[in-house]
Amino acid sequence: MQEEKLTDTASRLLVINLIFREGMLNRSYMPENEVNFSRGLEGVIASQTKIGYIDGLKGHLVYRGYEINSLVENSTYEETAYLLLYGRLPTRSELDDFTSKLKERSSINKETYDVIRRIAGLSHTMSSLRTAVSYIGTHSKLGDKTDYESQEEMGISIIAKMPTIVAAIKRAVNNEDFIEPDPSLSYTENFLYQSFGERKSKEVTRILDSMLLLHADHGMNASTFASMVVISTLSDMYSAITAGISALKGPLHGGANERALKMIMSIGSPEKVPEAIGRMLESKEKIMGFGHRVYKVYDPRAKIVKTYADQLTKGTPLRKVYETAIKIEDYMIERLGSKGIFPNVDFYSGIAYKAIGFEPELFTPIFAVSRITGWVARDLEYLTNNRIFRPRSEYIGESEIKSYIPIERR
Ligand code: CMC
């Protein structure tokens, strides 16, 4: 035992000596030009995919070869979910089977409802969502299985339950009774019915369905990447999705929609925009709902969501909010358009969700109701050619080896 310890210490010292003699810790361990440090992994290609494509300079978003605009015009959330997951548009019977599968799995059990009720209002709704999905994973029969079929089954089950969970969170926050899913309704119809306790108009349902479709997948964004990192360790789908939800919560990612609306409402009217936004820019504040790592032109999703915000606010008290947003867009493009900063999907989505009747605290969970498909599709795709994600950091700390100083002599 003693000998083993000595050998271990000796070999560690030998390695440290070698590293220093070769100058490895002097920032030259990586062969030059082979791998460069990229802050925030900008521009780094970390996986290959057939799921989706973004042209950030031309403003195109493509799912499995289909331009997002043509899907919004012709498809539904369920059909697009099938496309993202299985690589092609379904036949009628494939779509019927898939929607039946979702309906069969859309209920959550009493224990999960109890947990949602107990934690409602304690912290952000995204924390409730994270806890609920993680909790469901603790009593899934497949929770510890890591084979592809089990991961797929877990993924489909979470996609199916997501609207039920988010609607339950909404109702728990408002101290209302929970509403079970109605098997005669579509994914989006059910989400609205379970959230509000009544059916919404065809127009509103269609708009929300399109918004879910628009948010369903978007390259290797932070939450998708977080989820993929977890699945790459051969952990289970519940854990991977819990990680995705955790990353989506942040204001630089999915959390921007809630903050964008709050900012627009706090400014209050179009004439106050130059002064308010000007002041925020002077103090180097980020304006929520603007800018994007990939898009350097107008986000194609934002273009579509803007038309929904316009449509839904006409003749309503929210019209002033929409007009204030338009003024913010004009002002921001004038000031920062030349730097490639334009509205992203989160700028107008909050206005549309609010016009439908959702409170701002629900905006990011709604994003998750949609993005769940992208997370599952990309996690499953990655598993077909899995390699654990394991980047490195460039060491920029002390280069001298120090002698250890016992605590009483420091
Ligand atoms: N307001 C003001 N300036 C901005 C903004 C903004 N929203 N976004 C970027 N900039 C400036 C930034 O200050 C920096 O300027 P400089 O070069 O003078 O220092 C430059 O543009 C580059 O910004 P960055 O933060 O290095 O860009 P990034 O690629 O690391 O970050 C982003 C992208 C989306 C996090 C960032 O644009 C941002 O924080 N936007 C506000 C939050 C937001 O709307 N997030 C939703 C993103 S879209 C949906 C999603 O994926 O969730």
158-216 pLDDT, tens digit per residue, is 999 999 999 999 999 999 999 999 999 999 999 999 999 999 999 999 999 999 999 99
Determine the distance separating the centroid of ligand 1 and the alpha carbon of 380, expressed in angstroms.
Answer: 30
Q: How confident is the model at residue 6 (pLDDT cuts 50, 70, 90)?
A: very low
3-state secondary structure 336-363: HHHHCCCECHHHHHHHHHHHHCCCHHHH
Alpha helices, DSSP H, located in 22-91: 68-74, 77-86
- 391 has a pLDDT exceeding 70: yes
- 9 has a pLDDT exceeding 50: no
Opening angle at CA 228, ends 227 and 230, nearest 5: 70
Determine the distance separating the centroid of ligand 1 and the alpha carbon of 88, expressed in angstroms.
Answer: 34
Handedness of CA 298, 299, 300, 306 (dihedral sign): negative
- Ligand 1 binding pocket mutation candidate from 248, 286, 363 (most atoms within 8 A of CB): 286
Q: Which atom of ligand 1 is nearest to the CA of 292?
A: 34
The pTM for the full model equals 0.91
What Cα–Cα distance (Å) separates residue 361 from each residue in 82, 218, 253, 266? 29, 22, 15, 16
Choice among 209, 217, 346, 379 that is catalytic: 346
Q: Is-catalytic flag, 292?
A: yes
The pLDDT value recorded for residue 146 is: 87
The pLDDT value recorded for residue 34 is: 60
Q: How confident is the model at residue 22 (pLDDT cuts 50, 70, 90)?
A: very low
Nearest CA to ligand 1 atom 37: 291
- 341 has a pLDDT exceeding 80: yes
Q: Is-catalytic flag, 346?
A: yes
Q: What is the mean pLDDT of the chain?
A: 92
Determine the distance separating the centroid of ligand 1 and the alpha carbon of 44, expressed in angstroms.
Answer: 18
- Ligand 1 binding pocket mutation candidate from 38, 292, 335, 342 (most atoms within 8 A of CB): 292
- 253 has a pLDDT exceeding 50: yes
Amino acid letter for position 124: H
The pLDDT value recorded for residue 323 is: 98
- 16 has a pLDDT exceeding 50: no
- Distance CA(315)–CA(99), nearest Å, equals 36
Pocket, ligand 1, Cβ cutoff 6 A = 40, 221, 252-254, 256, 286-293, 339, 341, 344-346
Determine the distance separating the centroid of ligand 1 and the alpha carbon of 297, expressed in angstroms.
Answer: 13
The pLDDT value recorded for residue 35 is: 64
The pLDDT value recorded for residue 13 is: 43
The pLDDT value recorded for residue 15 is: 44
**For 291-337, what is each residue's pLDDT tens digit?**
999 999 999 999 999 999 999 999 999 999 999 999 999 999 999 99
- 357 has a pLDDT exceeding 90: yes
Q: Which atom of ligand 1 is nearest to the CA of 248?
A: 52
* 3-state class percentages of the chain: helix first, strand second, coil last, to nearest 5: 60, 5, 35
Determine the distance separating the centroid of ligand 1 and the alpha carbon of 284, expressed in angstroms.
Answer: 11
Among 11-20, 68-77, 79-88, 217-226, name the one with the lowest average pLDDT: 11-20
Choice among 215, 292, 299, 310 that is catalytic: 292
Nearest CA to ligand 1 atom 23: 291
- Distance CA(232)–CA(383), nearest Å, equals 7
How much is the average pLDDT of 354-358?
Answer: 98
- 409 has a pLDDT exceeding 90: yes
How much is the average pLDDT of 145-155?
Answer: 95
Q: Hey, what domains does the chain have and what are their CATH numbers?
A: 77-252 (1.10.580.10), 256-356 (1.10.230.10)
Nearest CA to ligand 1 atom 51: 253
Q: Which atom of ligand 1 is nearest to the CA of 286?
A: 1
**Percent of the chain's residues with pLDDT above 70:** 91
Nearest CA to ligand 1 atom 46: 253
Determine the distance separating the centroid of ligand 1 and the alpha carbon of 178, expressed in angstroms.
Answer: 38
Q: Which atom of ligand 1 is nearest to the CA of 299?
A: 48
In a 3-state reduction of DSSP, which class is residue 87?
coil
Determine the distance separating the centroid of ligand 1 and the alpha carbon of 377, expressed in angstroms.
Answer: 27
